Structure formats: C-alpha cells, structure tokens
Structure 1
Amino acid sequence: MNCIVVVAANQAIGKENKLLFSLPEDMKHFRSHTLGKTVVMGRKTLESFPGAKPLPKRTNIVLTRDPSYNKEGVVICHSREEVLDAVKDLPEDDVLIIGGAEIYRLFLPDCRKAFLTEVSVPVPDADSFFPELSEQTGWKLVSRSDELKEGPFTYTFCTYEKI
C-alpha cells in the first residue's frame, strides 16, 4: 500500500474540505499513479469530488464511521481492519491512500511508499495536514523531480520509501 498527496511547505493539505492547489501537472501525476488501481479515502474526501462521485477507472474504497452510509460505485468499509481485509489480496503497489488527513494518519504505518507533490509555499490558514515524513521513523526521500512552476506555485514530485 502507498499514499499520494499534495502538501504545502507547512504540510498543509486542505482547507474546509477542499484542495489547496489546482495544478494540472499534478493532476496528471495523480492519474498516472492511480488509474486502474484501488484508491482508499474517507467519506469527506469522496464528497469533495465533483458531484461527490467516485473516481472513474479505479476501485474506490471509502472508510466511514456512519453505518448507514451508502454510495453507488464505491466499496464501503467501517474500520481500518475492514479496509485492510478488502485489499489484502491486491499487489501492494495497486493500493493508494488518497486522503484526507485522518485517513493518511491511520494508514501511513501500512504504506511502503509515499508520493508527495511538495509545493514551496505554506498555507497558514489550512485546517488539515499530512504528517512530516522526515519526522517519522523509517522514511527516506528516494527521488525528487526538477522544480515545476504553474502560475505562482513552484513544486516538486517526491517519492519517499519506508526503509
């Protein structure tokens, strides 16, 4: 299992259940890592998508505490263990955690790789954050792209691996 996320310089990932950045190259990067695979997210992340619809051409697993939650086109799980059971027979690289913050924290110990798009500016008024991998035991930066620039934002694609 791996995770993929866009983080600001202060590890911010969202505000009011919305992404902080709209970066077309990052969206291509996200699609290239997730198409044809299984993505795991929380209910609020799913509901933040256009029309609250699951991502096409992927198996969408949604973790929610609400026992009555139902959504067409997704696999609903109600516990971490249920998610892990749902993906246990899949190749490790075919499962990606895609948010939000609580879901990242819950599954980061199970992840082997983390694909971060690191944006060079902080977002001080954000309300959700990704753990700082350099402070997590066993994570190592293994690759960093050249800097990309879109509009006012400079960012890099980074891959971290658990060692």
Structure 2
Amino acid sequence: MNAIVVVDKNWAIGKDGSLLVHLPGDLKYYRQKTLGKVIVVGRKTLESFPGGKPLPDRTNIVLTSDPAYGANGCIICHSKDEVMETIAGYDPEDVFIAGGSQIYEQFMEDCDGFYVTKIYDEFEADRYFPDLDAAGYKAIWESEMQQEKGIAYRFLKYSR
C-alpha cells in the first residue's frame, strides 16, 4: 500500500481544509499515479475534490465515522478494519492513501511506499504529514526540480 501527498518544507499538507497550493504539475503527477487505481480518502478530502465528487476512473473509498454518510460513486467504510477488508482483493501497489491528515495517520504503518511532492517553500498550515526524513525513511527516487508559479518542487518516492 502507498501514500500519496504534497508537502511543504515543514511537511505541512493543508490549511482550513484545502491544499496549500495548486500546482498543475503536481495534479498531473497525482492523476498519473492514481488513474485506474484505488484511493482511500476521508470525507473532508472527498468534499474538497472538484464538485465534491469522487475522482473519475479510480475506485474511491471514503472512510468516515458518520454512519449516515453516503456519496455516489464511492465505497463508504466506517472503520480502518472495514477499509482493510475492502482493499484486500486489490494489489497493494494499486492502493493509495490520499488524505487527509487523520487518514494518513491511521494508515501510516500500513504503507510501504510514499509518493511525495515536496515543495521547497513554507506555507501557513494547520495539517501536517509525518516528516519521513526525520523518521528514517529512505528517498529511493527523486525527479528533477520543477518550477511553477514561482514555486520549486520535486517528486520523491520514499520507502521504509
């Protein structure tokens, strides 16, 4: 299982329920990595998607504690165990934990790969991803530096 996340230099991921910045190159990378795959998100993350709708051409699994919650085009789960049962039939390499912060925290220990878009800037934030460098994870691949909207970033893949 993998996680996919965009972070700033302080490992911040969001503010007030939104991404820190929208970078077309990062959105393209996210699409490339997750198209035809399974994404696991929380309710708030789903609601932050365009139109609050599931992303097309992916299996969208939503983890929520609200027993009455429903969303067309999604598989709704109410516990981590239920998510794990749901994804058991998929190749673990095809499963991406995609946020938000509470979902990342719940599945961190279950992930072997971490696809990180690292922005070399800092933003005001209220949500963070664990610092993989400080935790001893290894960056096993990194892209060339990218530049958009005056912001430098690169894509990295970390492993345990």
Distance 2:22 2:87 in 1: 30
Gaps of 5+ in 1: none
Task: List 4+ stretches of structure 1 deviating above 4 A.
Answer: none
Percent of aligned pairs with the same amino acid: 47
Distance 1:152 1:9 in 2: 15
State TM-score, norm by structure 2: 0.97
| Mapping of residues 93-104 of structure 1, within 5 Å | 93-104=93-104
TM-superposed deviation, 1:122: 1.1
Distance 1:161 1:144 in 2: 12
| Mapping of residues 1-163 of structure 1, within 5 Å | 1-123=1-123, 125-136=124-135, 139-162=137-160
TM-superposed deviation, 1:22: 1.1
State TM-score, norm by structure 1: 0.95
Gaps of 5+ in 2: none
Distance 1:159 1:71 in 2: 31
Instruction: Write the letter of the residue equivalent to 1:131.
Output: P
What SS does structure 2 have at the residue aligned with 1:135?
Answer: coil
What SS does structure 1 have at the residue aligned with 2:130?
Answer: coil
Distance 2:95 2:68 in 1: 25
Distance 1:41 1:135 in 2: 25
Aligned length: 160
TM-superposed deviation, 1:56: 0.2
Instruction: Write the letter of the residue equivalent to 2:92.
Output: E
